[in-house]
Structure 1
């Protein structure tokens, strides 16, 4: 059973998260510090424990109760454990809402389980209603309750009222009503039995809800030592759960026996840890000394012991991370706050790889402001968090509603990915000003397919701004590679294009402007309607506003918009662009490449 979406209300800095959808494997909640990312994980922890403390009450809405709703998706096999009527080939939603006041279960899964019982309750209540009506014809026995109610928690209260009235009737009514009363009592029993079944459903569903595990990078660190009074400390409990030995056994024996037991615990944990930690071979030893048990970390030569706090923060984090995840069973919901905060970039990438492996068996939710935990090929797993008027705002789509600081890790990640994958071609290269140009050209190249008038072996290379294209030109010239350079026809593009011709004595054919129209950028090659409908999701503005100018009005980074468009095309989405858009891009590709078309194409860009 996995989380499909979450709604958080009146929890710390979160007034109303609305529906936060989660990926089935790994979800990355990105945002700058103090934006409220951790509060999302804390809310899910409170949901799992079914307990909210005074610290969890809202900052801005005094008097409001914290409330967390989680929609789980379960398959037919899971639901069949509760009700045999489930279709094994279907998926069902179970919606669970928890607060300090109540716990409610709703959704398709609950409806299926309650459908037969609800019908029985409705039928029984109708019979009771009719039979009471007959009895209450006696003016002396008028009663003041209405049986016409919704089938929900009020049923229990109604049955209590009916029982009370029946008791009164039984004591006061005439003998000829005894048969009716017995029949009413029987129908009440039917309703009570169905209510008991409903309570059993609640219990069965609660048992199916997966385990939530919160790993806090700042608090769940293995200590230097512990005593028997620390047995409830979570990280200590998890450490010993990985061994075959009970924590209290170490305090129940003394002398040589205690030392032998400590050595067995040490050997049990060290071997597994080195399967995950590849920076160095280490041994983790547990050594008793009086009332305390100490943890020591030995290098492979086993000569120099270190206490955990004497190792790097990165090592401490990795060790505690390993202990926590290894102690938990599969099919858990793993909540990880700022993973690898103290690790260097390469180690953070390794942690991302480990998280992706874990997500095969567990749903993983992490918070981060590091670009190294953002995979540019999986931007759909990102949820952005920022603060608006002091309250935490969560956006399901990574390209909407975020400020520049919040978007920074994503933009950085995209840039890192481009430089990592950048290659050069002996047959021809096209240098473009930035990453958004790279994404748009790559997407349209894919979309046009065999109709694209640029050779397949010509490589498109992004720079990081028009002025930086000069460095790329120098590099390609030094290597003796063929190339062309594409500039926007704005002031900066024209200035750098002129400088490139002067500095490197480049021909007019080598320098290509995106359009002959003044101040045009690559976004302006799309028709106005195409850009509104397919690139920035229904944006509506005056017809004379250029597409490149519209992006500024949306407040969204142009790189993210172009990246999203490329992902849609790469996923196979078919977009029917207008003839204007298609011809504009064909003409540009014709100027950039050397692939010959069957007919000459003349378009005034």
Structure 2
């Protein structure tokens, strides 16, 4: 069974996530505090691999601001307990065949059967969506049972399941008839949907495994303390990878504390060490000269607190090149994360657990190359066996060749301060609409590399670097307009890559262009203050001079933004329509100059209503969405500027 969609409501920072689709690998991208963890936690509690984790608590989980009103409304009977999460699953062939094997080929009322699973704050799970043809299913049961011709004919002609049951009950009670009664009775009492879900599909719904930094192995533990925690059902997160390691080695905890430990026990542990070492090294390109080692020995008085009696297990990493070993706990956090996940997952994989993996900020402490290794691990090792949903704000954990996997997670009520956010837009939302995302959500700063996430989201073999999303909208829209009329637009070989400002251009070109051996050109705004930084792009041989273009190359002004590719009157029409105002060309400062600068100067003296701030993106969005109405106002001279720009760029392919 495959998870197809999810919808989360009234959970922590989430009022209504909106329904979002799930892929084989789904990447949740967003800034810190956007609600990515809340999304994963809500899904996990629906059907967790650790059963005691599947509990929604109103006090801890309901949005804090509204929890008192919610509790009062439920107590007064004004509303039902909130449904927190609904997951919709697509039945795969083996699920369909399992149902059809009992109820026949015509038992499904849909060619693409789905089932949904929901859970509310009473922690009741309910299923839905499952569409079955009960009449056809019962008829199949009758036909596949060895009944007399008369009884079979009567049963097939019956008008209800109850009537079928009565006919069979009154017939001769052969073994076949009694078997049929046992199959029909639960259908008569509860309906076919209930029976199919509970007897066949329920156990096939995959469980969720949630993994974050708290599940990292400590690298050392006291065996007796671990035994006690497990016996009392009080395991902590870091216990699971260690137990996974022991299970992989086919070892029991009481074997470790046996003073008569045998050579066979040590051999089992060594086999697990070797197996995990080979798996780690397959995707750990940082150091190929390491191996994992686990030591079991009696506790000593000088051992850490909590490990001074009984038996201790110690994890070490041996560097075979330098002939030294270090405690596992002292290795990099990134390595410990990777190893801990492998230890737990390897054991679950061996047991063939039906799982969906929820990875919260995986590899957060890994540097760029190691994160790329992790992406490869997801693709090659995890995807063939499990769906993976992971969160990140690192560009190196976004597969730029599979942008369809990305979901933007944002909380606009946290990110917006200029305007009041309508109630329905508050809280964490999940969207695939890149151009609807806020700048902070789409382009979070990326650690020491200092460039934003969109530099990976919009990367291809041929990259046209522009400053922002507004450029992308204008260029793509005009290009499509020209192509519709049979002219050449911007070549489809170009991937337009917004980088968030002219000051980011050289960083992008040097870090990405050189590393990935990409064909890169730039088309950016030009102001006199930017001349030095723009000249440096080709003077430092980051790009050839012909690949560095500015909008001033195609307009009459000394300075130019993408907006100056249009006439002032046309651009003002976009501004007026989007903001509901009325600025005319005569209202703007006379003479040459960037039109955006002129509009900003005018709005400083005549502010927009309700404290709204002017944003370059909004007129661009209006242009893209209303191009059908606006194209008649685009003069040939305006289009010609774009024709020249597209021609110059296409010559670089």
TM-score, normalised to structure 2's length? 0.62
Residue of structure 2 in register with 1:487 after alignment: 551
- Measure the CA separation in 2 of the matches of 1:386 and 1:92: 34
Residue of structure 2 in register with 1:441 after alignment: 475
1:52 aligned onto 2:102: no
Any idea what the Cα deviations from partners look like across 1:139-178, whole Å, max 9, x if unmatched? xxxxxxxxxxxxxxxxxxxxxxxxxxxxxxxxxxxxxxxx
Residue of structure 1 in register with 2:391 after alignment: 367
- Measure the CA separation in 2 of the matches of 1:554 and 1:359: 45
Residue of structure 2 in register with 1:172 after alignment: none
Residue of structure 2 in register with 1:203 after alignment: 199
Residue of structure 1 in register with 2:269 after alignment: 262
Work out which of the residue numbers 408, 413, 433 in structure 2 matches 1:388.
413
Cα 1:123–1:255, aligned 2, differ >3 Å: closer, same or farther? closer
Which blocks of at least 5 consecutive residues in structure 2 are unaligned? 75-80, 140-155, 166-180, 231-238, 299-310, 415-422, 446-450, 495-519, 586-594, 601-607, 649-653
Residue of structure 1 in register with 2:297 after alignment: 289
Cα 1:96–1:274, aligned 2, differ >3 Å: closer, same or farther? same
Residue of structure 1 in register with 2:241 after alignment: 235
1:405 aligned onto 2:443: no
Cα 1:594–1:409, aligned 2, differ >3 Å: closer, same or farther? closer
Cα 1:558–1:270, aligned 2, differ >3 Å: closer, same or farther? same
Q: Any conservation in 1 of the 2:521–2:548 contact (CA below 8 Å)?
A: no
Deviation at 1:338, TM superposition (A): 0.8
How many residues of Structure 1 are paired with residues of Structure 2 in the alignment?
Answer: 495
Any idea what the Cα deviations from partners look like across 1:116-158, whole Å, max 9, x if unmatched? 5699998367999xxxxxxxxxxxxxxxxxxxxxxxxxxxxxx
What does 1:406-425 align with in structure 2 at a 5 Å threshold?
A: 406-409=441-444, 412-415=452-455
Deviation at 1:22, TM superposition (A): 2.6
Work out which of the residue numbers 522, 526, 550 in structure 2 matches 1:461.
522
- Measure the CA separation in 1 of the matches of 2:493 and 2:126: 60
Q: Any conservation in 2 of the 1:29–1:385 contact (CA below 8 Å)?
A: no
- Measure the CA separation in 2 of the matches of 1:377 and 1:293: 43
Deviation at 1:71, TM superposition (A): 0.9
1:588 aligned onto 2:641: yes
Cα 1:74–1:561, aligned 2, differ >3 Å: closer, same or farther? farther
Which blocks of at least 5 consecutive residues in structure 1 are unaligned? 129-186, 424-429, 498-510, 533-538, 569-573, 596-605
CA RMSD in angstroms comes to: 5.1
Q: Any conservation in 2 of the 1:297–1:308 contact (CA below 8 Å)?
A: yes
1:11 aligned onto 2:11: yes
Deviation at 1:441, TM superposition (A): 3.1
Cα 1:287–1:575, aligned 2, differ >3 Å: closer, same or farther? farther
Residue of structure 1 in register with 2:145 after alignment: none
Work out which of the residue numbers 325, 329, 353 in structure 2 matches 1:305.
325
- Measure the CA separation in 1 of the matches of 2:33 and 2:366: 21
Q: Any conservation in 2 of the 1:230–1:236 contact (CA below 8 Å)?
A: no
Any idea what the Cα deviations from partners look like across 1:280-321, whole Å, max 9, x if unmatched? 131111111111111111112473221121111111112123
Residue of structure 2 in register with 1:598 after alignment: none
- Measure the CA separation in 2 of the matches of 1:475 and 1:190: 77
TM-score, normalised to structure 1's length? 0.66
Q: Any conservation in 1 of the 2:293–2:315 contact (CA below 8 Å)?
A: yes
- Measure the CA separation in 2 of the matches of 1:95 and 1:583: 54
